């Protein structure tokens, strides 16, 4: 069991989301940055969808009431019993230990994973907190959480290779698939969208990020459409011409024309943006978006097995660039 001693910012229990209920109007929700959350879980030997803590900007202080292995995902200073420890590395904490997590140096969301995960009662098959429907609640000082069962041996001391530590940049080019309502925008409007710089505003949350920048011009079809589905990363453009990127807590349907959809691999880049940070958009094909996602998932799988000790990593040079490759460790018979 752990106890939240101090909770300076929004901290919630999340997993990868609540699927199969969008037809009933229930949003998927789940972690904002899927990659960082999954990597944190891998470091403590968990599966991808294991419930963990997500915090905004400033991490909590936690007291351990039982021994546990933990890992922090994020660009942040961390202390265990007053002594600095590293993010992106797993540690053993014993009963009575105090974990202090500071303010993120970059990025918007950080993650705290525990071996075995956080024990919770699933709502519609998920432990994700969705505050608008009272699915779970924001955590506060004094809250105690039970941890799931885990075989802890061998999970401390796992470290993510620095080449794979996520970097949360203040400026990013985000890849998008144009459409599905491309005809609701003029040629000039689409050109504006693809050549301009947009800034994340303070009117942004887990539901969506509102952007400030050059106005995107609609065609004579206008900004409104017959309400249809909103996939993750959808970019709605209402009448004011300012884009809104729909994220984890997005509604299931909407009636604004969508100029594009962020490629799945780039959604974490968007999610980790702070108000005042900037985004540019680059159009790619559906096939290219699928290719990048397949490549990412192969890498994530390799990292998971590497941290489990089932694969080894080595450096190779390809076209003059040094990269890390993985190979399976054959078990002795």
pLDDT digits (tens, 9 = 90+) for 205-254: 999 999 999 999 999 999 999 999 999 999 999 999 999 999 999 999 99
In this predicted structure, what is the pLDDT of residue 157? 86
* pTM of this structure: 0.93
In this predicted structure, what is the pLDDT of residue 328? 74
How many CA atoms within 13 Å lie on the side-chain side of 291? 7
In this predicted structure, what is the pLDDT of residue 326? 72
CA 209 – CA 222 distance, rounded (Å):
22
216, burial (CB in 10 Å: exposed 0-12, middle 13-18, buried 19+): buried
317, burial (CB in 10 Å: exposed 0-12, middle 13-18, buried 19+): exposed
In this predicted structure, what is the pLDDT of residue 79? 98
In this predicted structure, what is the pLDDT of residue 171? 87
In this predicted structure, what is the pLDDT of residue 333? 55
Each domain of the chain, given as residue ranges in start order, spans 2-151+158-164, 171-284, 297-328
pLDDT digits over 275-320, tens only? 999 999 999 999 999 999 999 999 999 999 999 887 777 665 555 5
Local structure of residue 222 (DSSP, 8 states): -
**Pick from 92, 94, 61, 96: nearest CA to 76:** 61
CATH number belonging to the domain at 171-284, selected among 3.90.105.10, 3.30.70.60, 2.40.100.10, 2.40.33.10: 2.40.100.10
In this predicted structure, what is the pLDDT of residue 322? 60
In this predicted structure, what is the pLDDT of residue 239? 97
Local structure of residue 58 (DSSP, 8 states): B
**Residues in the chain, pLDDT under 50:** 153-154
| CA dihedral of residues 287, 289, 291, 295 (deg, nearest 10) | -170
CB neighbours of 297 closer than 8 A, spacing ≥ 6?
Answer: none
CB neighbours of 71 closer than 8 A, spacing ≥ 6?
Answer: 40, 43, 44, 87, 88, 89, 90, 91, 112, 113, 158
């Amino acid at each position: 069991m752990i106890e939240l001693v101090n909770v300076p910012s929004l901290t919630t229990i999340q997993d990868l989301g609540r699927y199969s209920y969008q037809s009933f109007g229930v949003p998927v929700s789940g972690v904002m940055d899927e990659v960082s959350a999954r990597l944190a879980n891998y470091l403590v030997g968990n599966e991808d969808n294991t419930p963990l803590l997500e915090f905004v900007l400033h991490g909590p202080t936690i007291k351990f009431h039982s021994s546990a292995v933990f890992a922090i995902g994020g660009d942040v200073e961390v202390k265990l019993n007053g002594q600095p420890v590293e993010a992106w590395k797993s540690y053993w904490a014993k009963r009575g230990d105090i974990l202090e997590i500071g303010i993120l140096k970059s990025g918007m969301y950080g993650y705290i994973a525990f071996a075995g995960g956080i024990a919770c009662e699933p709502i519609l098959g998920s432990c994700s907190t969705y505050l608008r429907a009272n699915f779970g609640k924001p955590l506060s000082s004094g809250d105690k959480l039970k941890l799931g069962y885990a075989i802890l041996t061998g999970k401390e001391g796992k470290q993510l290779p620095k080449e794979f530590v996520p970097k949360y940049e203040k400026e990013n080019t985000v890849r998008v698939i144009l459409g599905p309502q491309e005809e609701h925008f003029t040629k000039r409007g689409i050109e504006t969208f693809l050549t301009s710089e947009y800034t994340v505003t303070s009117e942004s949350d887990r539901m969506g990020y509102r952007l400030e920048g050059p106005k995107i011009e609609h065609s004579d079809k206008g900004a409104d459409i017959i309400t249809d589905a909103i996939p993750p990363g959808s970019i709605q453009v209402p009448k004011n011409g300012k884009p809104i990127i729909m994220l984890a807590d997005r509604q299931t349907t909407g009636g604004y024309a969508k100029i594009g959809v962020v490629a799945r691999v780039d959604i974490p880049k968007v999610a980790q943006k702070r108000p005042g940070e900037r985004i540019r958009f680059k159009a790619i094909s559906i096939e290219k978006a699928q290719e990048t996602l397949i490549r990412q998932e192969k890498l994530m799988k390799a990292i998971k097995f590497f941290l489990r000790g089932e694969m080894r990593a080595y450096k190779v040079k390809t076209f003059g660039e040094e990269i890390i490759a993985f190979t399976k460790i054959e078990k002795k018979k």
